[in-house]
Amino acid sequence: MDQKLSSICAEKPWNDPAAEPFIRIKDVTKTFGDFKAVDGVTLDIFRGELFCLLGGSGCGKSTLLRMLSGFETVTGGAIEIDGQDMAGVPPYERPVNMMFQSYALFPHMTVANNIAYGLKRDGMAKSEIKKRVEEMLTLVQLQVFAKRKPHQLSGGQRQRVALARALAKNPKLLLLDEPLGALDKKLREETQFELVRIQEELGVTFVVVTHDQEEAMTLATRIGVMDRGRIVQVGEPRDIYEFPQSRFVADFLGSVNLFEGVVSRDEENETAVRSPDVETELTISHAISCVLNQKVAYAVRPEKVRLTREKPAQDTNVCRVTVEDIAYLGGMSVYLLKLPTGKTMRVTSPNRDRHEDAITWDEEVYASWNAASGVVLVS
């Protein structure tokens, strides 16, 4: 990993109360008539981060990005970038550049001229423009394509040209709205790592909007999950995935099995949930802040669950299931299971061996997991 990104990941300024945020979003609201697109968002982003705003369509993430860029005005609240209040500051005077999902390349210009466009508009000397364009072409590894037109490039190459043009003016902050949305799955996965490499090399603060959970997990130092105009959880990718704070986050970020129930025990080293869908108690290995018989949801990720023909030697977190369907995906298999109550479960298992005695359709087996694998959600 690049030294700059290694440094920010090691220091984790978001955990330091004395650290100064590079971007401060304070109780920001944006309304369109009676519709509240962004609803009281407060968020700090630190210099050098690759921060992802993640959410479904219409959650307010792109509107928040456009307010950072200055293309939308703030209805209420305030935005500061590098210590400067952005109220009344037009887009062209902000230390910001934006890369759009459509890339918006000039079709009649070569790759080099597309990258140079903003520099020419700023009146930079020709020798400096040439040097900067060469630097950007090297950065995105498109030196041999400098004289081509956009229609002569692949989707991934056009994406890199747009990125080079956005970075050419050396912005303090780069905003990216669904930057990989137009690419096919394989190319998108490859380009994610390329985007991280470029951000690491430059150390520029990136704020990326995406609806793709895997993309956010791959790219981000931290993720802000949005729902109906609000930030519902902020954290590092692993923390948000492993420790969601609500049903919405657990369900939105990856696959999850949710069991509705009530708290039956809440002790220092264990909390138990009783669910009508499971014969045994569901437990986690720590206490939570709740009362007995409080309604909660118990969540466990599909990859945390084991499938066995023999009943495990444990009294909790085990249930009888019938295999309804199997999807073989090469490196892993996905099992759709039905409990005696009719509820369905999802389990993913890596295909480590080429064994012939694998669990198959219509078998009755046991699903089980460790107490440390579960999460109790009170909201």
Q: Which long-range contacts (CB under 8 A, 24 or more apart) does 36-44 make?
A: 36/229, 37/63, 37/229, 38/63, 38/64, 38/67, 38/229, 39/228, 39/229, 39/230, 40/77, 40/230, 41/77, 41/229, 41/230, 41/231, 42/231, 43/224, 43/231, 43/234, 44/14
pLDDT exceeds cutoff 90 at 57: yes
**Could you give the CA distance from residue 85 to residue 135 in angstroms, rounded to a whole number?**
32
3-state helix, strand, coil split of the chain in percent (to 5) is: 30, 30, 40
**pLDDT value of position 360:** 92
Cβ distance 254 to 242 under 8 Å? Answer: no
Closest Cα to residue 348, out of 321, 363, 367? 367
* Cα distances (Å, whole numbers) of residue 133 to 143, 158, 370: 10, 15, 54
Alpha-carbon separation of residue 204 from 8, 68, 195, 208, 330 (angstroms): 12, 15, 12, 12, 38
User: Do the beta carbons of residue 323 and residue 337 sit within 8 Å?
Assistant: yes
Residues 6+ apart with CB under 8 A from 88: none
pLDDT of residue 1: 43
Q: 3-state class of 68 per DSSP?
A: helix
Instruction: Return the amino acid letter for 80.
Output: E
pLDDT recorded at residue 194: 86
Tokens representing 70? 């200055």
The structure tokens listed for 106 are 């000039």
What does the pLDDT look like over 304-314, one tens digit per residue? 999 999 999 99
β-bridge pairing 35-45 and 84-85:
unpaired
Secondary structure element (H or E) that encloses residue 44, with its range = strand 35-45
When pLDDT is cut at 50, 70 and 90, the band that residue 7 belongs to is low
Span 305-325, mean pLDDT? 96
52 and 208 in contact (C-beta within 8 Å)? yes
pLDDT of 354 reads: 73
The whole-number pLDDT of residue 183 equals 76
pTM value is: 0.90
Q: Running DSSP on this structure, what letter comes out for residue 311?
A: P
Look up residue 358 and give its amino acid. A
Instruction: Give the phi and the psi of residue 243 in degrees, each rounded to 5.
Output: -130, 60
Residue whose entry in the numeric block shows the structure tokens 């999807």: 327
Most confident of 28-32, 98-102, 354-358: 28-32
Strands 257-267 and 295-300: antiparallel
Across 72-81, 274-283, 355-364, least confident range: 355-364
- Where does residue 34 fall: left (phi above 0), alpha (psi -120 to 50 degrees), or beta otherwise? alpha
Q: What is the DSSP string of 217-268?
A: HHH-SEEEEEETTEEEEEE-HHHHHHS-SSHHHHHHSS--EEEEEEEEEEET
Q: Comparing 7-11, 16-20, 240-244, 275-279, which segment has the lowest mean pLDDT?
A: 7-11
Mean pLDDT of the chain: 92
User: What is the C-alpha to C-alpha distance for residues 171 and 95, in angstroms, rounded to an integer?
Assistant: 6
Long-range contact pairs involving 62-65 (C-beta distance under 8 Å, separation at least 24):
62/177, 62/178, 62/209, 63/30, 63/37, 63/38, 64/25, 64/28, 64/30, 64/38, 64/226, 65/98, 65/175, 65/177, 65/207, 65/209
